[in-house]
């Protein structure tokens, strides 16, 4: 993954979300995508926090946009690896980092969303495991 490829993915992903264009958003994912996020539990009602397949993602994203019709993301940082990218952005839940792994066609086949727990939560006895 080159820096240019990582930046192109990040900018298009953010633009697709900010346009509320679900087709454009899901175009970034392979048919067998596996996405894990604590928000999946709340929005999709999936206790494992993991969704599999592009259609499951489409349904999840549609519910999220219905709940947040003014949704906007602001890209903060992009990190590139060998076959992965991490996006750090601000959204309605605060700071989020999403880590993506890509197949040879340049589509994300695995992704995980990580939410900022903030220093105030650590100060109140939370631990990181």
What's the pLDDT at 121?
A: 61
What is the rounded CA–CA span in Å between residue 114 and residue 94?
Answer: 11
Q: Position of tokens 């086949």?
A: 109
Q: Above 50 in pLDDT, residue 129?
A: no
CATH fold group of domain 3-123: Nuclear Transport Factor 2; Chain: A, (3.10.450)
Ordered by start, the domain boundaries in the chain are 3-123
Mean pLDDT of 5-21: 96
Mean pLDDT of 29-47: 92
Structure confidence at residue 116 as a pLDDT band (50, 70, 90): confident
DSSP secondary-structure letter at 106?
A: S
pLDDT tens digits for range 67-111: 999 999 999 999 999 999 999 999 988 899 999 999 999 999 999
Q: Above 80 in pLDDT, residue 120?
A: no
Q: How far is CA 87 from the centre of its chain?
A: 8
DSSP secondary-structure letter at 82?
A: S
What is the rounded CA–CA span in Å between residue 29 and residue 34?
Answer: 9
What's the pLDDT at 122?
A: 58
Q: Above 60 in pLDDT, residue 53?
A: yes
The burial of 59, by beta-carbon neighbours within 10 Å (0-12 exposed, 13-18 middle, 19 or more buried), is given as: middle
What is the rounded CA–CA span in Å between residue 119 and residue 123?
Answer: 6
Facing residues of 85 across strands? 80, 100
- Contact in structure between 37 and 113 (CB atoms under 8 Å): yes
What is the rounded CA–CA span in Å between residue 53 and residue 30?
Answer: 8
**Percent of the chain at pLDDT exceeding 90:** 77
């Amino acid at each position: 993954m080159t820096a240019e490829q990582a930046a192109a993915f990040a900018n298009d992903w953010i633009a697709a979300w900010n346009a509320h264009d679900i087709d454009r958003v899901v175009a970034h994912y392979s048919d067998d995508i596996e996405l894990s996020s604590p928000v999946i539990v709340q929005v999709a009602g999936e206790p494992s926090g993991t969704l599999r397949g592009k259609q499951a993602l489409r349904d999840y994203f549609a519910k999220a946009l219905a709940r947040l019709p003014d949704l906007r993301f602001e890209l903060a940082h992009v990190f590139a690896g060998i076959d992965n990218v991490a996006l750090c952005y601000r959204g309605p839940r605060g700071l989020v980092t999403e880590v993506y792994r890509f197949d040879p066609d340049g589509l994300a086949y695995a992704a995980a969303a990580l939410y900022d727990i903030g220093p105030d939560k650590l100060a109140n006895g939370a631990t990181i495991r």
